[in-house]
Chain A
């Protein structure tokens, strides 16, 4: 099956404001053609090619539909640990060669693991395209040929240090894990962190690596996305040469990971090695598969950030109760979270901050935003969008995400249009639907200072459980 498409990027001098305000869209978009095509090999490997001659480099992204969501209780962190093992050499590529032929020729390589997917990439000078495909295909086809427990052990220690560096030794570093484990029931695969627990990392075995690889690292569960300076015909022949002979792989049962709703409020206080307290309020929302996320993203952009946004203007600028506020809609594949993070000015209580923030959000829910607020929130998307087209790596990753999550490599165009089409009424609706009582209010306070929590008498101490 072969599909070819050309993306139309809106680049209208009239500005997106006209569209976003939904009044009189008189956009005269100059069409920007971003050529790409996507197709599948007979073995199920889906391929996206996006040629662009601007910079003499090529980015190769290998996208696997597996993340921490596919783990089970007791084996948390495994998908990410596995990502590390993918860099330890494979059947025909001794350890170290991957780095020598990417970073060592002026390129780069890395991998990232999320709840839903694991992405590997190389950027290389354009004459190294075949080399990058050779490297990626070898670990897709022959990782286990050279696997041994020593390699696993070394990466296990490194990942434990990654956990220490990013979370355990980082002020407020455990907030994400506390939110996940509180918002979702313990059997929900979003209830644990991507990096996993130390105990589970210790317990991971060589057999786990083999089973995981055989099930998830097969062409039928993968996408190969190539962006940059190359000839499509040559790239197609090379992709077939290096990936065409691999068997498709077994059918995968995807875990159930529906969005959650909560009846009441959960209030926690967590004592951290910090001097400045922090208030975190999180509401469960929807993920990538639900279009409400677009209005939720606009809601975060009009709530906090620049000084024109509601919470930032009131709490940081006018009343000066806080030094910083962020609001984010995080959309993973199956569910999402809308999160508010507030750092107080010295002497301001988290209780007062919570009350003040709630009052502002209540007003927003009751009256809705103005058209101009929406306009301000979305006006910068055009620049972000065009900026994103300048990076071969960014492009290859975005195309792979679109194909993997929406079965449409060009989905970022849809995403863009759906975001700029969000109306004030949409924002009012999602604010009322999702920003409800069913939320988590987490106070992070200095050790021994639980009285600094927001409404301390109603807040339960969070006890860390090393699973």
Chain B
């Protein structure tokens, strides 16, 4: 220790801190291996072994989500059905089911999102078989007690009321409603009315149609042996009747985008205004995906991206602003925004618009911006396979997004191939300044006049559901 200290004190005298250390060669991308097979009932199975810790991550993913399966008049059915799966089975009532899972030290989550659903858990390896047994019971024999439906419905009705008190939650309901309209699944919200229209029979029918092996992928990652795990799953899920089919993901056309408009929803006394600025974008399958990733990283995907560097760091108008594309099977939205101190709502909007014009060419992309964005995207990848859960997620997202098995191996080359002119082209194509929905939820009494005075777009006053008011 003393010898080490002595030699370093000498070295200290020559340390030139003004030079950035030069990093060694980047770590190799090590994408975990996995094996694919098909169960007798038709479900796809992927297993990836990882033995450094006694952990297993298990997921059943179903293709399609509430955008495919929810009737417009009973929006919320998919989500309620997912919750109902934890309310008991033919042989275990809700308390017994919860207790059994707790004693196994795990939690089973059932979620149905916009375009896929999952039934998932993590467990200690030794408890995997026992947990799997219970999960199979939940999947195949849910009892859907009527009283549970009423309790869950009542909870959601309260949550809807509470969402009306949160500016960010209001903006997240308003923005898609305005961009996609109520005839498009992306624009439909769960409301008091749709929740109240859901009956137990709907839940039973939804479960029967949705949770089918022919539209399912089962992924197991962690401390298992593939052959034994496959045999156990085959046996445990033998009672899951085959059938079902993957949805086609056909969406109606997005309504013709309206000329840019500011939609202002009043939240009296709000200390901040929540901004959501954007429009419908491309699906995940677009060949422009990689150029869009680079473009958005420069615009608003990182801390030092243009939007945050300007509106937060330089101007101090916000705790943080960003932009993103909601890629999916359909035309997910481009959305920029954040929470802005009320008194600077007008100034912040001016800066947002300046940066959106900038990325379209007003402010040329520098070499450093381009290389940093690419580095950030590609060098993130080797570290994303750290945990059984993250490996599982990586496998599942290939499947839900329809991507090839060598996607991760190809990713860096695809990003590297993006040229500056590609970035500019996709910015001009997708950040369409003439057709922006500029949704602002805030204190109308103090922000309306300054926002109008910017002249950026005409103002429409809406209620918090997106209906026009005066």
Contacts and interface: CB of A to CB of B under 8 A. Distances in A.
Interface of A: 2, 11, 13, 15-17, 30, 32, 39, 41-42, 54-57, 91-92, 96-97, 99-101, 103-107, 123, 125-128, 130-131, 134, 138, 142, 153-158, 160-162, 164-166, 168-171, 229, 236-237, 240-242, 244-245, 273-276, 306-308, 313, 316-317, 320, 323-324, 343, 345-346, 375-376, 379-383, 386-387, 389-392
Given A13-B127, A39-B1, 7 more contacts: A106-B377, A127-B26, A166-B319, A306-B98, A323-B155, A389-B53, A391-B387
B12 A381 contact: no
Contacts of B17: 91-92, 134, 138, 142
Q: 8 closest pairs, A vs B, by CB? A: A157-B316, A106-B379, A56-B27, A106-B380, A13-B126, A55-B386, A390-B387, A240-B8
A128 B166 contact: no
Contacts of B1: 2, 39
B53 A390 contact: yes
Contact of A345 (B102, B154, B379): B154
B404 interface: no
Nearest to B5: A42
Contacts of B126: 13
B461 interface: no
Interface stretch (B132-140, B171-179, B265-273, B278-286): B265-273
A15 B102 CA distance: 12
A331 to B, nearest CB: 22
Interface stretch (B104-112, B236-244, B329-337): B104-112
Given A99-B302, A237-B4, A131 B23 contact: yes
Nearest to A132: B21
Given A241-B12, A346-B158, A17 B103 contact: yes
A103 B303 contact: yes
A55 B124 contact: no
A130 B23 CA distance: 7
A30 B125 CA distance: 12
Nearest to B154: A345
B18 A392 contact: no
B229 interface: no
Of B53, B159, B269, B389, chain A has the most CB atoms within 10 Å of the CB of B53
A308 B98 contact: yes
Interface string B339-383: 101000000000000000000000000000000100111111111
A16 to B, nearest CB: 7
Nearest to A14: B126
B261 interface: no
B105 A379 contact: yes
A380 B102 contact: yes
Contacts of B372: 100, 104
B166 A170 contact: yes
A125 B95 contact: no
Contact of A308 (B4, B52, B95, B309): B95
Contacts of A383: 55, 105-106, 122-124
B375 A381 contact: no
A414 B230 CA distance: 38
22 contacts: A39-B1, A42-B5, A103-B376, A104-B375, A106-B383, A127-B24, A134-B21, A155-B316, A158-B316, A161-B341, A166-B319, A169-B272, A237-B8, A244-B5, A308-B98, A376-B99, A379-B102, A380-B107, A381-B105, A383-B122, A389-B53, A391-B386
Of B1, B154, B269, B378, chain A has the most CB atoms within 10 Å of the CB of B1
Contacts of B154: 320, 323, 345-346
Contacts of B162: 171, 274-276
B105 A382 contact: yes
Given A130-B23, A158-B312, A170-B166, A386 B383 contact: no
Contact of A169 (B106, B339, B377): B339
A402 to B, nearest CB: 20
A54 B27 contact: no
B304 A96 contact: yes
Contacts of A96: 304, 309
B16 to A, nearest CB: 9
Interface string B1-41: 10011001101100101101101111110100000000000
A21 to B, nearest CB: 11
Nearest to A168: B271
A30 B54 contact: yes
A103 B304 CA distance: 9
A322 to B, nearest CB: 9
B158 A343 contact: yes
A154 B316 contact: yes
A170 B155 CA distance: 20
Nearest to A153: B316
B222 to A, nearest CB: 10
A238 to B, nearest CB: 9
Contact of B383 (A57, A155, A274, A276): A57
Interface of B: 1, 4-5, 8-9, 11-12, 15, 17-18, 20-21, 23-28, 30, 52-55, 94-95, 98-99, 102-107, 122-124, 126-127, 151, 154-155, 157-159, 161-162, 164-167, 269-272, 302-304, 309, 312-314, 316-319, 339, 341, 372, 375-383, 385-389
B106 A275 contact: no
Contact of A379 (B54, B103, B339, B381): B103
Contact of B30 (A30, A56, A123, A155): A56
Contact of A162 (B11, B15, B52, B319): B319
Nearest to B54: A11
Contacts of A39: 1
B258 to A, nearest CB: 29
Contact of B21 (A130, A244, A379): A130
A153 B313 CA distance: 11
Nearest to A278: B162
A435 to B, nearest CB: 23
A158 B124 contact: no
Contacts of B378: 106
A54 B50 CA distance: 10
B165 A57 contact: no
B15 A307 contact: no
Nearest to B123: A383
Contacts of A168: 271
A382 B158 contact: no
A316 B127 CA distance: 29
A104 B319 contact: no
Contact of B316 (A54, A161, A245, A313): A161
A386 B319 contact: no
A47 to B, nearest CB: 12
Nearest to B16: A92
A275 B161 contact: yes
A276 B23 contact: no
Given A138-B17, A379-B105, A390-B387, A273 B269 contact: yes
Contacts of B11: 241
A107 B377 CA distance: 10
Contacts of A324: 155
B124 A386 contact: yes
Of A56, A101, A131, A142, chain B has the most CB atoms within 10 Å of the CB of A56
Nearest to B50: A54
Nearest to B274: A169
A161 B273 CA distance: 11
Contacts of B122: 383, 387
Contacts of A134: 17, 20-21
Contacts of B8: 237, 240-241, 244
A316 B27 CA distance: 51
Contacts of B303: 99, 103
Contacts of A131: 20-21, 23
Nearest to A159: B319
A92 B20 CA distance: 9
Nearest to B390: A390
A245 B23 contact: no
Contacts of B18: 92
Contacts of B164: 275
